[in-house]
Amino acid sequence: MAEILLSLTIIGVVAAITLPSLTGNINERTWNTQRKALYARFSQAIALMPAVNGYGTVKEDASGSTIEDTAAESFITNGLSKVLQINNICDSEHLVDCGVSSSIMTLAGSKIELPKTMNALNPLMTGSFNNHVQSFYIKNTRAAAFETKNGESIVAYVNPGCVGNLQSMQFGYAAGGLEAGDLFQRTVCANFIYDLNGNKGPNTVGKDIGVMTVMYPSDPVIVAPYPASKILASQNLNSATKACTNFDSEFRMPNLEEAYSMFVNNNLLKPTNFSATNYWSSHRAVRPPNVSVGIGVKMGTGEIDDWTLGNTNPKTWCVKR
């Protein structure tokens, strides 16, 4: 009997040690599978939408305060719901009614309130912008939320006046096109914060919570970056590309749209060693007369810029495959 009790005690101790780790691994695999499935469904839905801009009405008074705003709700009701099965829609004052948690644990491990407007998502996403191409203004639209038939809770932030397309992103440095030096906010049509299991928990970025961003109204691109929890040191582009796979075999350099999505959502995504400086993307171009450059994002302004491939100023923020 004593031997049996001793064996049971040992089994209990081993189980107590290994069970939390095992459960965590199972949750991690489940979230990863759900995240990929959600992205696949959204990619198909966005491709089927007749347009990703121009939804709803946004009006402001003389002081710039919003007096009417149906952009996000209209985007969901008149756009997404036509190509995606949606169970419930909630306005900005009732986001939690769609199963969204009122607070989120960020990648850096701090809690923040769920953003209810585009400005709360990132203050650099709204207001009046000027650059060498043109002046533009992005309104501070209110968020709306919805639930999918699969049980995900999703908050949408919409820029109904988004512009740009993939063709203009070839960086031919032609006057009037989107090019290095542009403030890129105007290309963001919609941004989503998703929670794979509603408000059940852990309500943590990188686990059940993530982001997706839709860019360009013509030939829209949707990305869902899953960023690393650590910023790598400044280095040239070729070294930075290798550094991502050396950091972790599942990580890579973000493409330009992924890098910009990380700018849009950096209050949620930024790790503890984040700084609002220059970051590489995998995008490359040729600057006249014949200079090979890499294109990246200035996280402190929302500007895209180019740097020679040997420039060691930009930092590296990898994303998971």
Query: pLDDT (tens digit, 0 to 9) for every residue of the chain, 321 residues total?
Result: 666 666 556 665 554 555 444 444 667 888 999 999 999 999 999 999 999 999 999 888 777 777 889 999 999 999 999 999 999 999 999 999 999 999 999 999 999 999 999 999 999 999 988 876 667 889 999 999 999 999 999 999 999 999 887 655 555 455 444 555 678 898 999 999 999 998 788 999 999 999 999 999 988 999 999 999 999 999 999 999 999 999 999 999 999 999 999 999 999 999 999 999 999 999 988 877 888 999 899 999 998 888 999 999 999 999 997
206 and 244 belong to one structural domain: no
Same domain, 165 and 190: yes
On whether residue 94 sits in a domain, the answer given is yes
Do residues 179 and 277 both lie within one domain? no
Q: Do 205 and 88 share a structural domain?
A: yes
Per-residue HEC secondary structure of 111-145 comes to EEECCCEHHHHCHHHCEEEECCCCEEEECCCECEE
Say if 17 falls within a structural domain. no
pLDDT at 166: 60
Tell me what pLDDT residue 249 has. Answer: 93
Same domain, 126 and 64: yes
CB count, 10 Å around CB of 51? 13
Compute the distance between CA of residue 291 and CA of residue 268 in angstroms, rounded to an integer. Answer: 36
pLDDT at 267: 95
Cβ neighbours around 182 below 10 Å, total: 23
Please say which residue of 170, 188, 223 terminates a domain.
223
31 within some domain: yes
* pLDDT attached to residue 266: 94
What whole-number distance in Å separates Cα of residue 172 and Cα of residue 28? 42
User: ω before 227 within 30° of 0 (cis)?
Assistant: no
Of 307, 197, 201, 215, give the one whose Cα is nearest residue 265: 215
- 14, part of any domain: no
Domain final residue, candidates 173, 199, 223: 223
Q: Is the peptide bond before 314 cis (omega within 30 degrees of 0)?
A: no
Q: What are the strands, taking DSSP E only, across 175-277?
A: 188-195, 209-215, 221-223, 251-252
Does residue 18 form part of some domain? Answer: no
Q: Contact at 8 Å (CB) between 169 and 158?
A: no
- φ, ψ dihedrals at 128, nearest 5°: -100, 130
The Cα–Cα gap between 236 and 216 comes to: 29
C-alpha separations of 241 from 145, 231, 236, 251 in Å? 36, 13, 9, 10
Please indicate, yes or no, whether residues 70 and 177 belong to a single structural domain of this protein: yes
Q: How far apart are CA 168 and CA 154, in angstroms?
A: 30
For residue 188, being part of any structural domain is answered with: yes
> Are 241 and 216 members of one domain?
no
116 lies in the same domain as 199: yes
Q: Is residue 6 part of a domain?
A: no
Residue 21, domain member (yes or no): no
Residues 32, 129, single domain; the answer is yes
Identify whether residues 117 and 215 lie together within a single domain.
Answer: yes
Q: Which of 177, 199, 223 is the last residue of a domain?
A: 223
Alpha-carbon span 205 to 271, nearest angstrom: 11
The two three-digit tokens of residue 85, written as one number: 């099965």
Is residue 272 domain-shared with residue 195, that is, in the same domain?
A: no
Q: How many domains does the chain have?
A: 2
Contact status, residue 264 vs residue 120, Cβ threshold 8 Å: no
The values of phi and psi at residue 183, to 5°, are -80, 120
d(CA 24, CA 37): 20
- 193 and 313 fall within a common domain: no
The range of the structural domain enclosing residue 199 comes to 27-223
